[in-house]
Amino acid sequence: MGFFLLGLQWTHLDVGPLQHFTLTWASIQSWGPFLKGVAVFLVGLIGSLLYLDFEGLKRSHVVYRYLIWIVILVGFMVFNTKRLSPGRALHVHHYVVAFILMSVIGYQNEILTIAHGFCMGMFIEGGCRYGFDPIWTLTWSSNEVDDNQITKPKKVAQHSTQERQRWIAIKSH
């Protein structure tokens, strides 16, 4: 339960240097040593959790079911990204990462139970803080609409879908 509550606090990491921890190529190129260290740590942590998970799944003789699920999930994401391009681009939010991790963690030991609780908290926090935005977002030039027009509350009903999608992109970065 404690790690679930810890996952709910993901919002508090969105300050200081971590506020610019965005997984886009342009952002990654501007990272300093601290953010690169955070990225290496997170990749190592997720890799370690998946290693523990798959070792437990092998001992339980169900690893092939999970591998099939991963192939289906990754295959769908690649297929849909190619199908929707060039008008849309893949944008994986932190709650999507948590959802994917929750779907492959198989509760085989105490560490994975803690990780699953944390991911569940992170998933709920992301949805509550940002809303469940589309994973495939629209791509267009950024000079179409003035930002001041979008933020006026009384004009919200007049916004087109494209303007709302642009505002969602502005809010989430």
Indicate whether 146 and 116 sit together in one domain.
Answer: no
Indicate whether 127 and 144 sit together in one domain.
Answer: no
Q: Which residue(s) pair with 89 in the sheet?
A: 137
Cis amide bond preceding 86, omega within 30: yes
With a cut of 70, say whether residue 5 has pLDDT above it.
no
Domain count, the chain: 2
The pLDDT tens digits for 12-71 are 666 666 666 666 777 778 888 888 888 899 889 889 988 988 888 898 898 899 999 999
Indicate whether 146 and 119 sit together in one domain.
Answer: no
What are the C-alpha distances in Å from 10 to residues 26, 31, 110, 123, 128?
23, 20, 21, 9, 11
What are the C-alpha distances in Å from 44 to residues 51, 76, 77, 158?
10, 25, 23, 46
pLDDT confidence of residue 39? 85
Spatial CA neighbour of 110 closest among 33, 39, 26, 53: 53
Indicate whether 167 and 122 sit together in one domain.
Answer: no
CA distance 120 to 108: 16
The pLDDT tens digits for 102-143 are 888 876 788 888 888 888 888 888 778 777 778 888 876 555
Indicate whether 27 and 88 sit together in one domain.
Answer: yes
Residue 15 lies in domain: 2-131
With a cut of 90, say whether residue 157 has pLDDT above it.
no
Task: State the pTM of this model.
Answer: 0.61
Indicate whether 27 and 111 sit together in one domain.
Answer: yes
Indicate whether 97 and 149 sit together in one domain.
Answer: no
Indicate whether 35 and 100 sit together in one domain.
Answer: yes
Indicate whether 25 and 52 sit together in one domain.
Answer: yes
Q: Please tell me which residue, 92 or 10, carries the higher pLDDT value.
A: 92
Q: Which residue(s) pair with 17 in the sheet?
A: none
Indicate whether 6 and 84 sit together in one domain.
Answer: yes
